[in-house]
Structure 1
Amino acid sequence: MRDRLEGVKERLVTNGWAVVTAPGSAVETLQDLVFDIAQQLGSPRANRKGGDLVDHLRPTNASTAKPRSLSALYGTGSFPWHTDGAHWPVPPRYLVLACAQASANTAATIIWDARQCLALNGEAARQANFRVSNGANSFYATVTSPLQSYYRFDPGCMFPLDSTAQRLQETVEKEGTSVSDEIAWAPGLIAVIDNWRCLHRRANAEQDSSRYLLRTTVME
């Protein structure tokens, strides 16, 4: 896997995301591989305070989902375009995901290189103000960072403070309807996403509850 990671790094630079196939799909094996890859890329960090470094993700009904999660808002339906950790002062650089279980109907993860999104690279993305909800640590931010080193976008935790910000969110969703790059999950598939560069979303998962992914977030 260490030899394959060199190719992953090259594809991250070229495309913003990459996939490799693990030698097996046992949960314990994938968990070790996900954490090993994360350590090679940077510093693994729990997605939630006090949480595990490796999350176990399944489609979840809104009524049983963790509070303030996208699943709590959208259930097993399609997720909106977003970057992970948008509620953090500095979002994680990479996401490492692995598939432990899937079927022919498993919802894909759709990827969008934000550099190709006109709305996210215009003046509004640099100026439109959002309130980023993070409990007592909430703050205000724009979609692009001051140095434009990363994108921050998540309708689940970012709330427009003006009409420009509202239009920006709506325009991104409309522009993203034609995006077709996707990860078609199969057991043993591992994906690495540059979270500073790419947006992603889960397709509709109502037809398949077997989707089982492992995920860790990586700080640079």
Structure 2
Amino acid sequence: MTLNKDLATLENEEAAILQAITGPLEAQGYVSADIGEISPKTLLSVAYFFGEVIPIGRGNDHVTEIRTSAEVGSKNVPLHNDKSYWRIPPRYLILYCREANGFENNHMHVSDIHGAFLQLTEEERASLSERVLDIHHPSNRSSGTLQGKVVNYLNEEVFYRFRSDTIEKNWDAFNKWDQLVIDNLIEVPFNPGTLLIMDNWKFAHGRRLTSVVNSYSRNIDRVLIM
């Protein structure tokens, strides 16, 4: 489901528009909206409605610019939730597409990791819930590890650490869970001017290059929210 809501009038109708986003987000775990061109300041105005924005990066930026292209990112990105190697990952993730070139169908791929978990047997869920793992940064194993679980609870809310390229490959329960997540992939249109908000505790996202025509590039703003 995509919320086809023009948010160009955000400043005048902020309360009504944010409420329109909140309903689908709570019901299905993600929501996308065509908002057109907005400034980083307006993006932060949307983000602060959902919680406290987490500054990250060397400059402690509240909005992180992510640039990918065929030259620097010519591979699929496994389905994952952001910052799964943090002690407590961000609750919500906002992605805003500023530019996209070279795609036949420009999508962001998302999947319900919580829904997939509930499809497992009681024994498989127990296996995933009980084991303590070394959780590490997916691209920098030397940066230290966190002793943690893939299934966690905070204030009676469940959250997951999900990234298939950081989990041992011979774990049958995880492999089945991973396959269920892949089998239930949702393609969300993600053209310039699209805002995508998802529950980062229970939803995964990733990039598949099946829709690339030739070379490609994409510029995304990302905001993490606790």
Same fold (TM over 0.5): yes
The counterpart of 2:97, out of the listed 96, 99, 105, is 99
Instruction: Write the mapping of 1:2-41 to structure 2, written as runs, cut at 5 A.
Output: 2=14, 3-22=16-35, 24-25=36-37, 29-41=38-50
Paired residues in the alignment total 200
Change (3 A) 1:188 1:154: same
* Structure 2 unaligned regions, length at least 5: 1-9
Q: CA deviation at 1:136?
A: 5.5
**2:190 match:** 185
1:43 maps onto 2:52 in alignment = yes
Aligned partners of 2:58, 2:127: CA distance in 1, in Å? 32
Larger Rg belongs to = 2
Provide the TM-score with structure 2 as the length reference.
0.76
Change (3 A) 1:61 1:139: farther
- Give, as a single letter, the amino acid of the residue that structure 2 aligns with 1:48: G
Give the share of equivalent positions with the same residue, in percent.
20
Change (3 A) 1:125 1:188: same
Aligned partners of 1:48, 1:168: CA distance in 2, in Å? 34
**2:160 match:** 151
SS in 1 for 2:53: strand
Provide the TM-score with structure 1 as the length reference.
0.78
Aligned partners of 2:208, 2:60: CA distance in 1, in Å? 25
1:167 maps onto 2:167 in alignment = no
Out of 45-54 and 137-146, give the one that drifted further.
45-54
Q: CA deviation at 1:91?
A: 0.4
SS in 2 for 1:124: helix
Q: Deviation string for 1:32-84 (max 9, x for gaps)?
A: 2321111111111134354422111122568x6xxxxxxxxxx3211112110
- Give, as a single letter, the amino acid of the residue that structure 1 aligns with 2:178: E
* Structure 1 unaligned regions, length at least 5: 65-74
**2:5 match:** none
**1:129 match:** 132
Change (3 A) 1:78 1:144: same
**2:84 match:** 86
Q: CA deviation at 1:106?
A: 5.5
Q: For the aligned residues, what is the CA RMSD? A: 2.7
